Amino acid sequence: MSDDVSSLSAAQMDALREIGNVGAGNSATALSQIINRRIDMNVPRVSIVPLGDVPDMVGGPDAMVVGVFLRVYGQAPSNILFLLPKDSAFYLVDMLMGKNHGDTQKLDFMDESALMEIGNILSGAYLNALFNFTRISLLPSIPALAMDMAGAILSVVLIQLGQMGDHALVIETEFKTEDNGIKGHFFLVPDPGSLDTILAAVGVE
Amino acid sequence: MAELIKVGMADLKVGKDPAILISYGLGSCIGISLYDPQTKIGGLLHIMLPDSSQSRATDNPAKFADTGIPLMLEEVLKLGASRSRLVAKMAGGAQMFAFSNGTDVMRVGQRNAAASKEILQKLGIRILAEDTGANYGRTVQIDLATGIYTVKTIDKGNKEL
């Protein structure tokens, strides 16, 4: 397979969607247990999109979001980005810190730490499920957090992909609480070289 | 009202007054403008990476500083700008996430800014102003009526270069 991801077959896309499904399913369960709410998730989108179009998946490049970023090390190095629109992030902080809905108006050190921990837990759950499915062992770095424009935050991941191609393969799942108060986007973006490893592990080289 | 022309990621647009060229949500990327104040012709380039020779996907010259800037120069000259009057402004090149073990990947913003400057200097184009580095996103625009380059941020205020 080439390094440009635009040549994936339908069977390969299905396999990646299944990986997203088991990973995100596990993450959603973890999140649900932490905040004690039901979490709905959509069927993961596996898409190959021009680099410049990725920010449109989360409301456009100037949408204000909170992003938790983790670098994934191991046999298939990747990036994980958990993006929440600002209001969702604030609501999630309200729940985590036992405040009333609407109390959080800006993020202090503790709030950021709580959101990073959520990113950590979701990533761990995701990578665990991925391991059970593929036997590929992956370890996340410590999380980093930024609150800013979606385009600026996504550029961190996109620039690395830009070295190898003009398209990004993203495995993306949307999480929602029942009342729609919290929405989040969980992105797994394998490094270009990692894709072969993942596809080989699930038998669709 | 001047037409608002969007410049995407790894994209380049050139034009003539009346028009405003805008690029949203730059992180480590850089928005470089060229402008000829007399003919009011200018361009805006949104690069992602410093150097095309380090990359395996070079189909799009606007992705890199070393190929994008010369291409923008060529296009504004084609529209009728005068090379000797052209001036440049640039912004972006942030480091969005701070990791203690700052790898090269994380410092790409810095490298983007350094490469852009070097290439402009090599081409003999004067850099009038820049706002690069730090750790926040920027939306940038240049108004071809005036050459004013505006940098907007979420909570660090707005700046005119």
| B137-149 confidence digits (pLDDT tens) | 999 999 999 999 9
pLDDT of A3 over the 70 cut: no
- At A201, is the pLDDT very low, low, confident or very high (cuts 50, 70, 90)? confident
Gap between the Cα atoms of A156 and B103, Å rounded = 12
Burial of residue B84 (number of CB atoms within 10 Å: 0-12, 13-18, 19+): exposed
Residue pair A76/A198 in contact (Cβ under 8 Å)? The answer is: yes
**C-beta of residue A62 within 8 angstroms of C-beta of residue B151:** no
- At residue B55, φ and ψ (nearest 5 deg) are -120, 155
Measured between beta carbons, the chain B residues lying within 8 angstroms of A155 are: 9, 25-29, 48, 96
How would DSSP label each residue in A151-174? HHHHHHHHHHHHTT-SEEEEEEEE
Judged by CB atoms closer than 8 Å, whether chains meet at A158 and B9 is answered as yes
Query: Within 10 Å of residue A137's Cβ, how many Cβ atoms?
Result: 12
Percentage of chain A with pLDDT > 90? Answer: 29
As a whole number of angstroms, the distance between CA B137 and CA B134 comes to 9
Q: A156 contacts in B (CB within 8 Å)? A: 27-28, 96-97, 106
In the predicted structure, residue A1 carries a pLDDT above the cut 50: no
Edge-to-edge strand ranges of the sheet holding B87-92 = B11-16, B41-47, B30-36, B87-92, B126-132
**Which pLDDT score, from 0 to 100, does residue B112 have?**
95
Q: How far apart are CA A103 and CA B15, in angstroms?
A: 47
Q: Please give the residue that has the higher pLDDT: either B58 or A143.
A: A143
Query: In terms of pLDDT, which residue wins out, A181 or B112?
Result: B112
Fold of B3-160: 60s Ribosomal Protein L30; Chain: A; (3.30.1330)
Highest mean pLDDT among A5-9, A59-63, A201-205, B127-131: B127-131
Helix (H, G, I), strand (E, B) or coil at A123: helix
A6 against B5, higher pLDDT: B5
Contact B51, B66 (CB under 8 A): yes
Residue A4 has pLDDT above 50, yes or no: yes
pLDDT at A2: 42
At A67, is the pLDDT very low, low, confident or very high (cuts 50, 70, 90)? very high
Which residue from A182, A187, A185, A188 is spatially nearest to A38, judged by alpha carbons?
Answer: A182
* Cα–Cα distance measured from residue B109 to residue B132, given in angstroms and rounded to the nearest whole number: 8
Residue of higher predicted confidence among A37 and B86: B86
Question: What share of chain B in percent tops pLDDT 70?
Answer: 95
Query: Is the domain covering A5-200 a CATH 3.30.70.580 domain?
Result: no
Specify the DSSP element, H or E, that contains A64. Answer: strand A64-74
Q: Cα distance from A132 to chain B (closest Cα, Å)?
A: 29
What is the reported pLDDT for B99?
67
CA-nearest of B157, B140, B144 to B8 is B140
Query: Domain boundaries in chain B?
Result: 3-160
- Tens of pLDDT, residue by residue over A100-122, are 888 999 999 999 999 999 999 88
Q: What is the pLDDT of residues B71-109, one digit of tens each?
A: 999 999 999 999 999 999 999 999 998 765 555 556 889
The predicted structure's pLDDT at residue A56? 87
Helix (H, G, I), strand (E, B) or coil at B101: coil
Test A163 with B97 for CB contact under 8 angstroms: no
Average pLDDT, chain A: 86
Inter-residue contact B32 to B10 (CB < 8 Å): no
When pLDDT is cut at 50, 70 and 90, the band that residue B11 belongs to is very high
Write out the residues of chain A at the interface with chain B, using a CB-CB cutoff of 8 A.
3-4, 51-52, 55, 60-62, 64, 67, 69, 71, 141, 144-156, 158-160, 162-166
Q: Is a pLDDT exceeding 60 seen at residue B14?
A: yes
Q: According to the model, what pLDDT value does residue B103 have?
A: 58
Q: Could you tell me the pLDDT band of residue B55, with boundaries at 50, 70 and 90? A: confident
CA–CA distance, A190 with A177 (Å, rounded to integer): 27
User: What is the pLDDT of chain B when averaged over all its residues?
Assistant: 93
Residue A199 has pLDDT above 90, yes or no: no
Q: Which is nearest to B143 in space by CA: B161, B131, B157? A: B161
Determine what percent of chain B is predicted with pLDDT higher than 90.
Answer: 83
Helices marked H in chain A? 10-35, 86-96, 109-134, 150-162, 194-201
Decide which of A90 and A162 is more confident.
A90
